[in-house]
Amino acid sequence: MNRVLAAIGVAFLLVVPFVTRNPFYQHLLIMVLFWTLLGIAWNLLGGFAGQVSFGHAAFLGVGAYTTMLLYLKLGWSPWLGLILGGVVGALVALPIGFICFRLRGPYFSLATLAVAEIIRLVALNWETLTAGPTGLLITQLPALNWFGRPVNWESKLPFYYIAVALALFAMGTTWFVSRSRLGAYLLAIREDMDSAEAAGIDTTRTKVAALAISAFIAGLAGGFYGLYFRYIDPDAVFSISMSVEMVFIAVVGGIATTAGPIVGAVFLVTISEFFRERFQVGHLIFYGVLMMIVIRYMPDGIWGRLRRWLLGATTQS
């Protein structure tokens, strides 16, 4: 069942750009995939291990700045920079993890919020490196050939396929983690940290490992953000609202599931982008409403509910 759904999903993603040439819909698809990526990143730690981070924008921002700076200052290929963005995100996550994981539950959440704010303020004020509030701008992306044909960076299509590749990689990672020993450890930590510790799991190391993988994906998403918009500044990539929105994507979609973040992103991003087109402001109203409905009535999220319904339907037939 899951394989059939996955195959349908991948086929749909590859075919969809041939259906529409409307730049708004193409942008919408890219945004859905970008937020899926962030939702997946957050879900690895927040969903599987139950460690609610309100500071994931830190990794997104570090990734974005790494990619942009390597290209602008050293002239490194942005595609290498994209991956290095993930690597630097994961490296930054290690000390943050060892500090913040001394705390539990809501205290951990508050600590991550503070760490992300400190990093935002440093990025805002370290002007020789980050250009401060002015931000970084890429005027031109390097020429690239794909099967002998030059890639047109003015079109949205190449970014769409990059986003698809990144999202599939991230979903594959989630799937892999959820079936591995690490995944089992994380679930044990979520259910009861003390019992997990008593059973011989090194909880801090396990959580830091999950955070590093999560930060790697968030860093990749950050690099992609920089290249797609060609402009970043600290208040865009390090903002509290970035951190908070990715929590909403994962929780509304379905905590601790492989497909949850994509379902959450499809729902929330589509609604909010249409709302933004129509009314300009207040597009996060539905994030708030759906979060409240999900927590109250369907704790395993939209995808969790949908999956139970689908599975129920197949067993009956």
Which residues of the chain form contacts with another protein (CB under 8 A)?
50, 52, 54, 99, 102-103, 105-107, 109-111, 113-115, 117-118, 121-122, 124-125, 240-241, 244, 247-248, 251, 279, 281-285, 287-292, 295-296, 299
Q: Which is nearer to another protein, 102 or 205 (CB)?
A: 102
Q: How far is the CB of 95 from another protein (least distance, A)?
A: 12
Q: Where are the alpha helices (DSSP H) in 47-153?
A: 57-74, 78-100, 105-125, 127-130
Beta strands in the chain (DSSP E): 136-137, 145-146, 149-150, 231-232
CB closer to another protein, 197 vs 235: 235
Tell the smallest beta-carbon distance from residue 12 to another protein (Å): 30
CB nearer another protein, residue 223 or residue 253: 253
**C-beta of 3 vs 296, nearer to another protein:** 296
Least separation in angstroms between residue 225's CB and another protein is: 21
Estimate the crossing angle of helix 157-179 against helix 181-191, to 10 degrees.
Answer: 70
Amino acid at 169: F
| Range 9-16, long-range pairs (CB < 8 A, 24+ positions) | 9/259, 9/262, 10/168, 13/164, 13/168, 14/164
| Cβ count near 167 (within 10 Å) | 25
Residue 139 is encoded by which pair of tokens? 């005027």
Shortest distance in whole angstroms from residue 164 CB to another protein: 29
CA distance 290 to 286: 6
**Which residue number, 51 or 173, has a Cβ lying nearer to another protein?**
51
CA distance 186 to 297: 25
**What is the closest distance, in whole angstroms, from the C-beta atom of residue 304 to another protein in the complex?**
14
